[in-house]
Amino acid sequence: MEELKKSKKLRSKKRVERTTNAVVYVILVIISIIWIIPYVYLIIQSLRAEPGAYINYLLPKEWTFDNYIKLFTDTSLFDFPRWYLNTFVTALVVCVIQTTIVLATSYALSRLRFKGRKGLMNLFLVLGMFPGFMSMTAVYFVLKEIGLTQSLVGLMLVYVASSAMQYYISKGYFDTIPKSLDEAAKIDGASRHTIFFKIILPLAKPIIVYTVLQAFLMPWGEYMFSSLLMLGDQTKFNVANGLRQMLQRENIAEYFTRFCAGAVLVSVPIAALFIWLQKYYVEGVTGGAVKG
């Protein structure tokens, strides 16, 4: 009799779990559809042949790839290839420098013990609570004094200036790597340099990938500082600042579909990187090294 009751409870429990899982899946599917609607709309509009931004229908009456072609061939008013190159070069340089600074800072704060360490970490935390745009005016005048406005170098300098304050997640990951590895390496005569490059970094691939993605993503789509520093010099625009010009009142009617095509091209590299490195990205955020 008791076995029969246990069997019924078990079946009831499994039925509840299946129902719960089904509800969760349905909710996730609905959320995914809601999230993907803007991207589908963007792609559809980028393939629309008829001009104009304000239309009362969704599907184009005529499909074409001309909007993508004209982005690279018609550069008389908007030089999209230059904007794309500016953005790629800036993002690549910032990615390399910022990743190096973040990983070095994270390792130092995780492994080294020095005077003022906790005070420095607290200072970084407090400064990180203030939004970056609060310093825009001061940053602009400083760069103006040293002649780096309307310059990609000045923009790169702004992006990498606060790199050390992005140590939080990387340091947390390094903390999960057993310190006994460092001690064993020291006994064998390894230097800090050797420990960092030969032992720690090979174990920290997920957090390296996460840091690289974050460092590359930030300048790729940044608008405010680029708009402020370039002062209307279209040859130095990044894609976010450049595409915004296509939505000006005098341009939107003719260039809206081309803007959609440019937005699709801008999102493709980032989407491809996330899909390719998704496993390491998730591990970098949620996981840690294997303790031993």
pLDDT at 3: 65
Predicted local confidence at residue 67, as pLDDT: 92
Say what the pLDDT of residue 166 is: 83
Residue-level pLDDT at 6: 65
What pLDDT is stored for residue 291 in this prediction?
A: 43
Residues whose CB falls within 8 Å of the CB of residue 78, separated by 6 or more in sequence, listed in order = 234, 242, 245, 246, 255, 258
249: alpha, beta or left? (left if phi > 0; alpha if psi -120 to 50): alpha
pLDDT along the chain (292 residues), means of 10: 65 77 90 90 90 82 91 89 93 93 90 86 83 82 88 90 84 88 86 86 86 88 86 86 88 90 89 77 56 41
d(CA 141, CA 262): 32
Identify the architecture of domain 78-252+266-286 in CATH.
Answer: Orthogonal Bundle (1.10)
C-alpha closest to that of 160 among 209, 223, 219: 219
Euclidean distance between CA atoms 44 and 142, whole angstroms: 44
d(C-alpha 252, C-alpha 243), whole Å: 11
